[in-house]
Amino acid sequence: MNNTSDYELTPERIWSEFDGAPGGTSLESMCGELFSQQLFNWQEFALAHMNMKGAWLREITSGPHTLLVQFNQGRTVSATAALDADTIRRRPCFLCEYHLPAAQKAVLYRKSFLILVNPYPIFSPHYTVVHVNHEPQALEGQIVSLLALAHDLGPAFTVFYNGPRCGASAPDHHHFQVCPSGVLPIEKDWEEGGRATLLADRDGVSLGVLRLLGRNALFMEGSVPETLEAFLKRLLGAMEEVVGSGEEPMLNLFCTKKEGRWRLLIFPRRKHRPDAYYREGKDSVLVTPGAVEMGGLLITIREDDFLKMTPTLAEEIYREVSLPPEVIEEIANHMK
């Protein structure tokens, strides 16, 4: 993990610091204290959190598949953000420390990241883990940090990652996000069994495919971080070789650590937004699939989209933005 910063942090910004020293306060406790402090001392965040808690939520099902749909107008800025290179270059980076609201505090994590409450939450709590330096969203150089973060947070939390071209609203600034474990339908789907196919089990790492409504995911499990890092890098290489984009392969990822093993779920993508996002009138659906949506919680920012979302429509969106099953199988064969 990179423990150096090119930027000198404002001391008043730091609520607490986690350095991993044995016997210290747990990261889970520090984050809980930060969350409580921000609810009490940051009025805008407290209001956004209250609105999120009152957001409409409904369940839709198709056979064995269950999805959740949330009507959350607080996510409008993220869901409709312009992400072309020119717009990104011209706007100030809202994740850089000196652009954060004055009332926003942070847990300094291993001197490399700021753990912040997400000011437009989907979950309670919902954290954004922001690199202290302004560097592009990219997974390969931060796999060690991903695994360390999941370990330090413990089984109560899940870390997720949106690739720079499929869900990251700040592709110019590296960050992860964190939500409570067990809140996404995908976690129940994985636990139930019957949808997962093991493809390989080598060097202490299990690799397989999880079949879901409209999309497939690759899963990876292991207890040795160095081996997992190597496998995930190989997976990124295999995806790049098969898809041939020349950039970081489009993906969303979840990572948690339970009972001594890291569990990673990777959704290979081919598209950021479905065609329906750009349509007008009754055929328009303003859904921007990121990790949360791929995990089975569809965030809608308009009441009409919330009400008209069906399993069939969700399946169409998933199929359009996900890599086809045969391509995912080809990637897995490269791994084997």
Both structure tokens of 208: 């397989």
Contact 298, 72 (CB under 8 A): no
pLDDT over threshold 80, residue 293: yes
How far apart are alpha carbons 146 and 131 in whole angstroms?
A: 12
Write out the two tokens for 194.
């019957």
143 and 233 Cβ atoms separated by less than 8 Å: yes
- Per-residue pLDDT reduced to its tens digit, 37-88: 999 999 999 999 999 999 999 999 998 899 999 999 888 866 776 777 788 8
* Cα gap 177→117, rounded to integer Å: 10
Q: Answer whether residue 193 shows pLDDT above 70.
A: no
Q: Which of 127-141, 182-196, 301-315 has the lowest mean pLDDT?
A: 182-196
27-41 vs 43-53: helix crossing angle, rounded to 10: 100
Task: Answer whether residue 112 shows pLDDT above 60.
Answer: yes
Q: What is the mean pLDDT of residues 295-301?
A: 96
Q: Are 186 and 267 in contact (CB under 8 A)?
A: no
pLDDT at 319 over 60: yes
* 3-state SS class at 171: coil
Residue-wise pLDDT tens digits, 178-187: 999 999 999 9
What does the pLDDT read at residue 189?
Answer: 85
pLDDT in tens, 250-287: 999 999 999 999 999 999 999 999 999 999 998 999 99
Percentage with pLDDT > 90 across the chain: 81
pLDDT tens digits, one per residue of 44-54: 999 999 999 99
> Of the candidates 146, 115, 129, which has an alpha carbon nearest to the alpha carbon of residue 236?
146
* Cα distance between residue 249 and residue 233, in whole Å: 11
Residue 28's pLDDT is 98
pLDDT confidence of residue 209: 93
Q: Which neighbouring-strand residues pair with 129?
A: 115, 176
Q: How far apart are the first and last CA of the chain?
A: 28
Site of tokens 């954004």: 128
Measured CA to CA, the distance from residue 145 to residue 168 in angstroms comes to 18
Q: Look up residue 90 and give its amino acid.
A: R
Of the CA atoms within 13 Å of residue 285, those in its CB half-sphere come to 20
Work out the average pLDDT over 148-162.
Answer: 98
Helix, strand, coil abundance in the chain, percent, nearest 5: 35, 25, 35
CA dihedral 264, 270, 271, 275 (to 10 degrees): -120
The residues that bridge with 211 in the sheet, in sequence order, are 216
Q: What pLDDT, on the 0 to 100 scale, is given for residue 53?
A: 93
pLDDT at residue 3, rounded to an integer: 39
List the one residue out of 196, 190, 126 whose CA is nearest residue 160.
126
Gap between the Cα atoms of 49 and 157, Å rounded: 18
Residue 69: CB atoms within 10 Å: 24
* Mean pLDDT taken over the chain: 92
Task: Please state the rounded mean pLDDT for residues 13-40.
Answer: 96
Which pTM was predicted? 0.94
Report the share of the chain in percent with pLDDT over 70: 96
Structural domains of the chain sorted by starting position, each given as residue range(s) with its CATH number in brackets: 11-273+318-335 (3.30.428)
Least confident of 38-42, 80-84, 93-97, 237-241: 80-84
* Distant-in-sequence, close-in-space partners of 155: CB < 8 Å, separation ≥ 6: 181, 256, 257, 258, 259
pLDDT top residue among 45 and 195: 45
Residue listed under structure tokens 């700040």: 170
CA distances in angstroms from 165 to 155, 196, 237, 247, listed in the order given: 28, 27, 17, 10
Sign of CA dihedral 265, 147, 156, 31: negative
Q: How much is the average pLDDT of 158-168?
A: 94
User: Residue 13: is it exposed, middle or buried by C-beta count within 10 angstroms (0-12/13-18/19+)?
Assistant: middle
Of residues 48 and 1, more confidence is placed in 48
* 134-143: pLDDT as tens digits: 999 999 999 9
